[in-house]
Amino acid sequence: MPNHPDLTASDKQRLREAVSSFPRFHLLVAGDLMLDTFIWGEVRRISPEAPVPVVEVREETRLLGGTANVVHNVSRLGGKVSVVGVVGDDSPGRQLRRLLDEISVETDGLIAIGNRPTTVKTRIIARNQQVVRIDHESSVPVSRDSTEGMLDFIRNNLPRIDGIVISDYAKGVVTPEFMDAVRAATRGLDIPVIVDPKVKHAEIYREVTMVTPNHHEAARMAGIEIHDEDSLVRAGRHLLEHLNCKAVLITRGKDGMSLFHHTGDMAHIPTVARRVFDVTGAGDTVSAVLGLGVASGLTMKESALLANLAAGIVVGEVGTAAVSAAQLLSALDTY
């Protein structure tokens, strides 16, 4: 597979102009919102009660996670963003709303459900290493009424939307009915729909603009073990044909990204990460940059290159991270 060519001065200028134009574009981000809680501490001893470390807590932080981290990335990149999803009628749900309000995100598309907990992922970290993760969540599909509430918001706001990002964490928001309705609402409109998928839902992503599985997800979705370039190409082409979408972007960790386009074009984009501390949220950053890139008029290959640069930034930070437009422009300058 050919490597992405070196960027010329004019290529870089085009990408800079696109990033600078992000504030002109409005994305709708839908999916499974989460509250990420990080408990930071030190380990100095083993518990006398069981052979486990005792973490002395120094600090707690709460951040936007899951689909809400995609929203955060779009906001930090300068784009306008509306969020669609569900939260519980509980303290974590109110905290999540406050965090969204703090970054001026429209939350009219959020549905509060009384008998459903807000998804909270608590990570306990000592010396930059995750000790354990605790999840509070429900993966039961949301009710028909809640789904219709989200879909009504999407339909009513399509005239001002430049792109849709669906971030599926398989927590009950992204259902076959939801995807069918999004396809029907956007049919015939020039609104790209980009999906960060989950394997168990592979069949419901047909006919979207782009699907962005990681290499493990791509292998399972295609039913092809990916162990070399040939198997990677077969898996990518299979997904492209089976899902009948315009592009498949397979993210491959330290090996970069591979883009398969419906025209038959392929491109490999090598990783630019200099150090990897934590991959948490890197896929969310990729989704946000792809959405804004395609909405701004960049090709899918150009958008993937920007997303690759952004992912290289966030994996160098511990915890859920969001990249800013300034960071992305700086990365472009040194590419």
Among the listed residues 6, 135, 284, 333, the single catalytic one is: 284
Dihedral sign computed on CA atoms, order 285, 279, 137, 101 = negative
Distance CA 45, CA 228 (A): 44
284 is catalytic: yes
User: Cβ distance 315 to 277 under 8 Å?
Assistant: yes
Residues sharing a CB contact under 8 Å with residue 106, sequence separation 6 or more, in sequence order: 81, 82, 83
Strand partners, 157: none
Fill in the DSSP letter of residue 214.
B
CB 277 within 8 A of CB 318: yes
What's the token pair of residue 138?
Answer: 């429900």
Say how far residue 101 (Cα) sits from the centre of its chain: 20
CA atoms within 13 A on the CB side of 133: 11
Distance of CA 295 to the CA centre of its chain: 16
- Look-up: residue for tokens 């339909």? 155
DSSP symbols for 111-145: EEETTSPPEEEEEEEETTEEEEEEEE---SPPPHH
Active-site residues: which are they?
Answer: 284
